Amino acid sequence: MFTGLIREMARVKHFSGNRLSLKADHKPKLGDSIAINGTCLSVVSIESDGFSVELSPETLEHIATEKLSGNVHIEPAMMMGDRFEGHIVQGHIDTVGIIRSITDNGNSYDVIVDVDSEFIPLIPPKGSITIDGVSL
């Protein structure tokens, strides 16, 4: 589980096939779950300046892989006893939407996102969703 709050910006060192290597200050353990741009991935190797994660075929099919370059945001999975901030999100990607418009309402924003109609029933009324892993 994640909160949908960005904890650190990491730099993509290399992305090829199903492996993504990141330069980061965060020091995970082998096997840890970590959200990269909101997608829950597993740490498969630790390097001196960061770590690598592996993407399953299902993940590669559903995420915006073009965003896995430059800087990405990371969020380690919540630990039992952590303070709940943001929202509770799983890091499972159902679909990729397209932001149609953003309206500034002074102290909030309306973000209109187009998604395929088959995914509308998965969006709970007044529930939380994430865009690129940021809870909204």
Question: 1-136 sits in which CATH class?
Answer: mainly beta
Across-strand partners of 8? 74
Contact in structure between 38 and 133 (CB atoms under 8 Å): yes
**Could you tell me how many residues make up the chain?**
136
Across-strand partners of 96? none
Of the candidates 67, 85, 122, 66, the one whose C-alpha atom is nearest the C-alpha of residue 1 is 85
**80-131 tens-digit pLDDT:** 777 777 677 777 777 888 899 999 999 988 889 999 999 889 888 877 777 7
Alpha-carbon gap, residue 11 to 4, rounded angstroms: 19
**44-85 tens-digit pLDDT:** 999 999 999 999 998 998 888 888 999 999 999 887 777 777
Predicted confidence at residue 123, as pLDDT, reads 82
Across-strand partners of 45? 52
pTM (predicted TM-score) = 0.79
**11-50 tens-digit pLDDT:** 999 999 999 999 999 999 999 999 999 899 999 999 999 9
Across-strand partners of 130? 135
